[in-house]
Amino acid sequence: MHPGVSLSPFAGRGPGWRFVRTGPTQSSTHDLPPQETIIRKRDGLALAPDEIAAFIAGLAAGTVSHAQAAAFAMAVFFRDMTTTERVALTKAMRDSGSVLDWSDLDAPVVDKHSTGGVGDNVSLMLAPILAACGVYVPMISGRGLGHTGGTLDKFDSIPGYVTQPDNALFRHVVREAGCAIIGQTADLAPADKLLYAIRDVTGTVESIPLITASILSKKLAAGLGALILDVKTGSGAFMPTLERSRALADSLVSVANGAGLRTGAIITDMNEPLASAAGNALEVRNAVDFLTGARQDPRLREVTLALGAAVLELTGYSGDARQAVERALGGGLAVEHFSRMVALLGGPADFVTAMDRHLRAAPLVRDVYAETEGRVVAIDTRAIGMGVVALGGGRTLPTDTIDHAVGYGRLAGLGAELSPLVPLGRVHARDQNAADEAEHRLRAAYLIGPDAAPPHPLIADRIAPPGD
């Protein structure tokens, strides 16, 4: 058990976790040439699991070309895949690299994955909250994608924090702090890395079977015992309609459980930024304020605690899971775990108490007011995310460097009453031109009217593992 844990009902229990590893199975379709597999999918046939395994193994080994992988992705895009095919694709991508084994730990190993949003810094709080509840959280996170922020980019704003530790340091931090938030290593699901890059430039990203296999292959490779998915819906989500978000959540939950990973999902609202800040260092500051109790955005608090309780329940937690996460946060244990994780991964030992000294601030800070008084009726959340990218806080090319200090703060939420004294938000910019553009983008993202629109439910749906 990692130190500092006082809330765990798992103490003294053995690990009790299954780490599923499946090798390729044998049948007549495993030695088909790649073009036959592409043709069969193009013609709408269901592929056999061993055929999918052979195709993905070939991609990883270099015997399936990138052109063939692109054609395969496009065939899947148009022809879809059955759940059995999706499970096979996910397992094949997992098996293209190594699978972490945490069987030496004495409590469940869990994680959360978000499909991506704006002002979504939940991971920064949730990992230490769960660690304080006695479970282990080896969280392998990504960088920003499109208009959405990335957890790793947020941690890069902490001086000294190592987002790519070697395996020994990663394991040491998980054991000692209960959580470690790091980046994907080269040997975890390398076939996904290849296929993702191919999809990115061939118009095949927005395919539910391909997204499912991509996300879950990495989570299966992380050797988890339980996973909670935060599937976003609304104007700042990759899946803007509830119907598409539900289809993605259903696919993720059935495939993850089909592949042996106990998984549930919560569909949460992204019709406005989740935190009142969007931008890397600004979201870290917001997260630390949340953990210390200095300031907690209410919607962010509800989503974070709901996800925490849900994943604890998936582990078979014997107590009141909601109460456990609330106590971990309110009692100050979660912030201790966060502080320990930051220090063990190379960040300042006094980061939590002296974050103003450690986080870079943008040279230009400006409040932005709406041109008319009234209430916030709608927010183009994606546009706010793109505003952060335009300020330099995200990338338009994979090789771009990020300005961690810039972004938006104090963002007004849906229904907020605006006046000459209440701004839409605060721009943090590198220079005057960037601030002017960010101001313009922020105003354009807000629709103001005399009356607030009916609120969107913060938690739109919950999907339990099959059979629960």
Longest dimension (CA), the chain: 72
Residue 152 C-beta: closest distance to ligand URA, Å: 13
Contact pattern for ligand URA over residues 139 through 178, marking x by CB under 6 A: ----------------------------------------
Helix (H) or strand (E) holding 113: strand 110-114
* Cβ proximity to ligand URA, 121 vs 184, nearer residue: 184
Site for ligand URA in 296-325 (CB under 6 A): none
Residue 338 C-beta: closest distance to ligand URA, Å: 24
Which residue's CB comes closest to ligand URA? Answer: 214
Site for ligand URA in 218-247 (CB under 6 A): none
Structure tokens at 301: 């608090």
The partner residues of 53 in beta bridges, in order of sequence, read none
Site membership for ligand URA, residue 69 (CB under 6 A)? no
Residue 261 C-beta: closest distance to ligand URA, Å: 15
**Measured CA distances, 192 to 59, 90, 177, 199, 200 (Å):** 10, 9, 29, 10, 12
DSSP labels for 300-330? HHHHHHHHHHHHHHHTT--S-HHHHHHHHHH
On the CB side of 218, CA atoms within 13 Å amount to: 24
Residue 177 C-beta: closest distance to ligand URA, Å: 25
Closest CA to 300 of 157, 123, 173, 81: 123
Structure tokens at 249: 């959540």
* Cβ proximity to ligand URA, 207 vs 315, nearer residue: 207
CB 420: neighbour CB atoms within 10 A? Answer: 8
Residue 206 C-beta: closest distance to ligand URA, Å: 9
8 Å CB contact between 437 and 390: yes
Site for ligand URA in 173-212 (CB under 6 A): 196, 210-211
* Cβ proximity to ligand URA, 215 vs 275, nearer residue: 215
Distance CA 364, CA 438 (A): 12
* Cβ proximity to ligand URA, 37 vs 217, nearer residue: 217
Q: What residues are annotated to the active site?
A: 111-114, 151, 199, 214, 218-219
Residue 207 C-beta: closest distance to ligand URA, Å: 8
Site membership for ligand URA, residue 214 (CB under 6 A)? yes
* Cβ proximity to ligand URA, 198 vs 370, nearer residue: 198
Residue 115 C-beta: closest distance to ligand URA, Å: 7
Structure tokens at 296: 């907690």
Site for ligand URA in 1-30 (CB under 6 A): none
Structure tokens at 99: 């699978």
Distance CA 290, CA 151 (A): 16
8 Å CB contact between 430 and 363: yes
Distance CA 160, CA 173 (A): 15
Residue 210 C-beta: closest distance to ligand URA, Å: 6
* Cβ proximity to ligand URA, 79 vs 443, nearer residue: 79
Site membership for ligand URA, residue 215 (CB under 6 A)? yes
Contact pattern for ligand URA over residues 334 through 373, marking x by CB under 6 A: ----------------------------------------
Could you tell me how many residues make up the chain? 468
* Cβ proximity to ligand URA, 315 vs 381, nearer residue: 381
CA angle 266, 268, 269 (to 5 degrees): 170
- Residues 6+ positions from 62 with CB-CB distance below 8 Å: none
8 Å CB contact between 148 and 118: yes
8 Å CB contact between 279 and 388: yes
Site membership for ligand URA, residue 73 (CB under 6 A)? no
Distance CA 465, CA 399 (A): 39
Structure tokens at 161: 């924090």
Which stretches within 278-431 are classed as H helix?
A: 280-292, 298-314, 321-330, 333-344, 355-358, 381-388
Site membership for ligand URA, residue 81 (CB under 6 A)? no
How many chain residues interact with ligand URA (CB under 6 A)?
5
* Cβ proximity to ligand URA, 48 vs 210, nearer residue: 210
* Cβ proximity to ligand URA, 100 vs 210, nearer residue: 210
Residue 86 C-beta: closest distance to ligand URA, Å: 13
Query: By the criterion CB under 6 A, which residues form the site for ligand URA?
Result: 196, 210-211, 214-215
